[in-house]
Structure 1
């Protein structure tokens, strides 16, 4: 392929006054980093980490100009490593994509070959991006509960941040696998939507914190998936049944929390972290096989809103103002 071939990409630039601006620009293949695998991107998706990168968060992205997008689904143009063949459909999630390596909110990307995996035959590229990193994180969270022995007969599973990408897909997967779900959200107007996803009950997220400073509370749920962090995570743990498991994958409510060890030593509650970025590629392949089979959701179209690359600046701002509902799939070529 010619190094002079042009394509469109979202570019975030740092202004002289310290602010950051977002625009769709024309770039050329020669602007991309020198890596083995060149991919023509068809779909991407939006995640909170993309919004942080797009707002100039230098804990996520150190150098600008930069193209965010931690997810990408597309077709191989060339692969100098010989791992993939031209025309093969591939998926990319995490590693350094969209952080310090130009990401999936672009019609072309260049990455190391060991960041990509073949798209399962039972998923289209768009379906894969309807899940995206949010759906991957949800699937990993449910799988970790299962590995710790969780089963539907144990009782309800609490899910925080229920209207977000991870929360909404978690609810749907849990429902499909036979679990009862209590959804917690700060958006009460979305209650019917959450019930449509599979929640049997919807509560305001602040009710989790009504326990206050008590070291331990009543046992209200068997297990939990937390996507918020902070006091919400601490108080979820305090109210989890004996032997239960709480997974943690988010920090919108704070990166720190304070509590006693009481839930751990009097109820044997377990707190487990979820990493969807740097897990081994073999583990990513394994969880995607489940996403493509027993965790594959019917009517996937209803779980994500399709937008164009040109709309991404507006939609990324929604993440920073807590206006996100569900998943956003970017038709990069639409």
Structure 2
């Protein structure tokens, strides 16, 4: 069957290009489940791939898209049947192999989870990789002993997908949330999601010259990395933990072992790519209980495949808040 996809090409000598093209099922990579995609997401990794950055794509032509939701067309795996709703995040789909920025995808059944019963495919992609990451981070913090009554939890990069969803989920769980953003104009939106106060990036980055600062937050979810993470670690209360989810501003920071030793804090790495099925399923099940789509809707932008190259550039420049969801069925007339 012929379908449309956003195809990324990069000549040996030349610049990267993206265009919506007609492809055939025979061109899809091998796999035991064929999915008709109803919604996909535009994530930071997708923006990197569409821009030829990050060294994520190893072969061209390429179809990006690290997450999608849709309906099974064909399956040789007994766990999935035609018409069933499914969700995919991670497993290097959209990076090492073709992904969800298309009307169809062929994947391995082991990479899928059933569409949560309380969610539409659209709602599942409002969450997507970002929602999964936020839920996994909260689950890890709570496994480390974090409780709602312990004090404020800081969320950095709160204007992005992971950060904004984390703010909503933490507030729903009864936590006091300090939302850090470099975009002050998003303050009202974050407050409506449940943030108890808005923190400026400059407030946290102001250098003190000390290896330990005043104990401020009981825990943190960091989506930014770089020097900001180093400053956050200095300010976490005794016995607290920081869940590291992203590295939008850098991979490295000046670190000291002192906060870990003298304050007994933990730094937790959160991966969404290779999480086993049980952890994914548990996170999605919990999301169905906590996520309120109507509350988050003001931070949702819809896009078509043809819109994505321009939106990718905007995203990399910090110009997009919340989540971008993609309807591959809507094509230019």
Q: What does residue range 170-189 of structure 1 map to in structure 2 within 5 Å?
A: 170-189=166-185
Which deviations, in whole Å up to 9, do the C-alpha atoms of 1:61-97 show, x marking residues without a partner?
1111111100010000111223211111100000021
Q: Which residue of 2 aligns with 1:8?
A: 4
Segments of 5+ residues of structure 1 without an aligned counterpart are none
Q: How much does 1:145 deviate?
A: 1.1
Alignment pair present for 1:284 and 2:283? no
Alignment partner of 2:115 out of 116, 119, 124: 119
Per the TM alignment, residue 152 of structure 1 is displaced from its structure 2 partner at its CA by 1.4
Alignment partner of 2:250 out of 236, 251, 254 = 254
Which of the residues 179, 202, 206 maps onto 1:206? 202
SS in 2 for 1:242: strand
1:290 and 1:296 in contact (8 A); partners too:
no
* Deviation for aligned residue 1:300: 4.3
Q: Compute the displacement of 1:253 (Å).
A: 1.4
Shift of 1:108: 0.4
**What secondary structure is seen at the aligned counterpart in 1 of 2:36?**
strand
SS in 2 for 1:100: coil
Contact 2:36 2:105 in 1 (8 A): yes
Q: Please, which moves more after superposition, 17-26 or 108-117?
A: 17-26
Find the counterpart in structure 1 of residue 220 from structure 2. 224
List per-residue Cα deviations over 1:35-58 (Å, max 9, x = no partner).
111000000011101111111136
Equivalent residue number for residue 314 of structure 2: 318
SS at match of 1:333: coil
Q: Is the 8 A contact 2:193 2:296 kept in 1?
A: no
User: How much does 1:216 deviate?
Assistant: 0.8
In 1: Cα distance, 2:305 partner to 2:45 partner? 17
3-state SS, counterpart of residue 117 of structure 1? strand
Is residue 176–residue 297 contact of structure 1 (8 Å, CA) maintained in 2? no
1:8-41 Cα distance to aligned partner (Å, 9 max, x none): 1111111454321111111111110121110000
Alignment length (residue pairs):
330
Residue in structure 2 matched with residue 94 of structure 1 by the alignment = 90
Could you list the runs of 4 or more consecutive aligned residues of structure 1 that deviate by over 3 angstroms after TM superposition?
15-18, 294-300
Mark the CA change 1:155 to 1:70 in structure 2 (over 3 Å): closer, same or farther.
same
Instruction: Write the distance in 2 (CA, Å) between the matches of 1:104 and 1:8.
Output: 11
Q: Indicate yes or no: 2:56 matched with 1:60.
A: yes
Which whole-Å CA distance do the structure 2 matches of 1:260 and 1:34 have between them?
47
* Contact residue 205 and residue 228 of structure 2 kept, 8 A: yes
Q: How many Å separate the matches in 2 of 1:127 and 1:70?
A: 16
Distance in 1 separating the partners of 2:297 and 2:178: 23
1:44 to 31, 36, 40: 40
Answer whether contact 1:181 1:201 (CA < 8 A) is retained.
yes
The answer as to 2:91 corresponding to 1:70 is no
5+ unaligned residues in a row in structure 2: which ranges? none
Contact 2:299 2:321 in 1 (8 A): no
Matches within 5 A, 1:144-183: 144-183=140-179
Asked whether 1:193 is paired with 2:192, we answer no
TM-score (structure 2 length as normaliser): 0.96
**Alignment partners' CA distance in 1, 2:165 and 2:2:** 35
Q: Distance in 2 between matches of 1:245 and 1:323?
A: 30
Q: What root-mean-square deviation, in Å, do the aligned CA atoms of Structure 1 and Structure 2 show?
A: 1.3
